[in-house]
A = this chain, B = another copy of it.
């Protein structure tokens, strides 16, 4: 048999006060004398009382919940960001609700629900582009918004410059003498409009153009995100009559597939093929993979803090916050004593952007 819920009324009776006083104690209002406060707190402890968020939310007209909208929770980069978000939210007193979206319809369904102030006070969106209308609706409904890895007009967002990141990778490879540079990136099958892979490619083009060269369409392969498909695309590239001498992968996960392809094809890295990724996941340092590092966890922390900031009524000082990218040149682009899996001297050319 389920025990009866102990309500604010029970506490009030036990403490010999009115419900309003108990409510004041709960919300730490200053307008209550120390003695009664103590009595109430004792009663709360005694009865093992827990306030109902439901009732509180209904009464206040909004729920003390923060929703987090994420795509493809399988991707390590998304998970790292989410981790940062949770870290902050967890000690904030707000509950965290997770909404995973993998398709347009799912996105719209979730967004429509989240517009409701009864659902959450604030929403954190990770890597999912929002339309002007979406943002306007949130605003109209009084639901705060904080964006991570995606931009939005007049909405606090924390991003990196993917295009600059791509250029960084390109410059690095060009500086090493590479002229035929392949690219392996994402094809956006979901229709959600992920742009980071494309932006990184554009950055690569920037780098090439600045050296009087241009992007070779033949050396570009786009496909579903993942190491396995990346390997297949790299195989494809390496089978070309005039294959690339370097490959820039839009993520470390994909770079792993490229690495795998190189070895399967008997190519030495970085001599026969140079490889650079993006993200700087743990696996990158393990495999001595050159990469463009971006602060994933920090982006989550930052995004969550900015939402909390708004909820406290403070203005976010810097609506658009750009996090730094950093080139980590390791053994898959730079020859060292021991090769890409070795422990040789690991040069970290940190190019701060």
- Hey, which bits of chain A sit against chain B, CB under 8 A? 2-3, 5, 50, 52-55, 57-58, 61, 63, 65, 68, 73-74, 76, 79-80, 82-83, 86, 90, 95-100, 106, 112-113, 116-119, 140-142, 226-228, 231, 256-257, 259-260, 263-264, 282-283, 285-287, 338, 341-343
Contact = CB atoms under 8 A, between A and B. Distances in A.
Contact of A97 (B52, B61, B95): B95
A93 to B, nearest CB: 11
B50 A286 contact: no
A279 B312 CA distance: 43
B73 A343 contact: no
A58 B63 contact: no
A61 B146 CA distance: 32
Contacts of A341: 259-260, 263-264
A118 B79 contact: no
A72 B135 CA distance: 32
B86 A100 contact: yes
Given A2-B142, A79-B73, A98-B97, A58 B50 contact: no
A309 to B, nearest CB: 20
Contacts of A83: 73-74, 100
Contacts of A82: 73
Contacts of A140: 2-3
A86 B98 contact: yes
Given A86-B100, A90-B100, A282-B228, A118 B263 contact: no
